[in-house]
Amino acid sequence: MYDKVMETVNYLQNKVEYRPKVAIILGSGLGDLVDYIEERVEIDYEEIPNFPVSTVAGHAGKLVFGKIGGVEVLAMKGRFHFYEGYEMKQVTYPIYVMKQFGIEKLVVSNAAGGSNKDFEPGTLMLITDHINFFGTHPLIGRNDDRFGPRFPDMTNTYNKDLQELAKATAKEMGIEYREGVYLGTTGPSYETAAEVRAFTMLGADAIGMSTVPEATVANYLGMEILGISCITNMATGIAKESHSHEAVVEIAKRTGKNFCNWVAETVKRMS
């Protein structure tokens, strides 16, 4: 694993001159943030040694290097999901690469269903914590101490300082947001009404099929994490209509302007 990661890192170091400290993972329908990145260099996942390839509509499958307001960034336009058939180590492989490439701060975003009845489609939610309902864990297996400790602490997974920075930025920009707990499931089916009731009782405000593995590994690797969910639909049993991926992507794109402005301005202040 370590040797594969370093092979990928060496390839990217030879491909681009950028050495960013900030990375962004863009969820379904949220790829327009790439338009805020100046002096872009884009690399297709297919070209990168040992990299998986995204198979989901709304995930372009590119690493994008460049600058936002003078701050060098690396953006993943398209992520990998457990439901695509990848193993957890493949789902989180880019996070290992980011760390060895020099990334210190990770902004992770997603499109999610709202289980908090105070939310509505289009709500932006700052992730304060998460619940792993994948039935597995991305760190299962032999531990390589070159990456991180065998038993990582999860107390401050979503960095409090980055949350405060995002809150202050949103206030100055007049962007409304909520705060809440994200619950991750395997997918690919949307949840049943009974599952949503159970997840809400567990404390979930939003439900999705990503983010938890990536945030867990990023925390393990010692990265600072900021998480933002775009509530694209109300969860089953709360919503009046059936769900579709196309509708999720459409709502995410509609909400995208506020999301992009918020993330871009927050990233500018991370320096």
Choice between 200 and 245, residue whose per-residue pLDDT is larger:
200
Taking only the tens place, the pLDDT of each residue in 104-123 is 999 999 989 999 999 988 89
What phi, psi does 187 have (nearest 5°)?
65, -165
Instruction: Quote the CA–CA distance of 58 and 27 in Å, as a whole number.
Output: 8
| 81 annotated to a ligand binding site | yes
Can you spell out the DSSP letters for 45-107? GGGSTT-----STT---EEEEEEETTEEEEEEES---GGGT--HHHHTHHHHHHHHHT--EEE
pLDDT value at position 51? 94
**Residues 184, 210 contacting (CB under 8 angstroms):** yes
The CATH number of the domain holding residue 19 is: 3.40.50.1580
pTM: 0.93
Q: Which of 75, 88, 98, 111 is catalytic?
A: 111
Per-residue pLDDT averaged across 128-138, rounded?
98
- Checking if the pLDDT of 56 tops 90, the result is no
pLDDT of residue 231 exceeding 60: yes
Please identify which of the residues 23, 81, 86, 182 carries the catalytic annotation. 81
List all residues 6 or more positions away from 18 whose beta carbon is below 8 Å from its beta carbon.
Answer: 41, 65, 66, 72, 74
Q: Is 243 annotated as a binding residue?
A: no
Of 74, 12, 79, which Cα lies nearest the Cα of 40? 74
Mean pLDDT for 171-191 is: 95
- Residue 23 confidence (pLDDT): 98
For 19-38, the DSSP string reads --SEEEEE-TT-GGGGGG-E
Q: What is the mean pLDDT of residues 134-151?
A: 97
Beta-carbon contacts of residue 221 (< 8 Å; ≥ 6 apart): 95, 96, 99, 147, 148
Residue 66: pLDDT band (50, 70, 90) is very high
Q: Is 233 a catalytic residue?
A: yes
- Check if 83 is active-site: yes
pLDDT tens digits, one per residue of 183-214: 999 999 989 999 999 999 999 999 999 999 99
Mean pLDDT of 117-135: 95
Provide the number of structural domains found in the chain: 1
Residue 58: closest CA among 33, 76, 31: 31
What confidence score (pLDDT) does residue 27 get? 83
Closest CA to 23 of 69, 61, 77, 60: 77
Note the pLDDT of residue 28. Answer: 72
Question: Does residue 57 carry a catalytic annotation?
Answer: no
Assess whether 28 carries a catalytic annotation: yes
Give the residue numbers spanning the domain of 67.
2-268
Q: What is the pLDDT of residues 208-225, one digit of tens each?
A: 999 999 999 999 999 999
Distance of CA 263 to the CA centre of its chain: 12
Round to whole Å and give the CA distance between 95 and 33.
Answer: 19
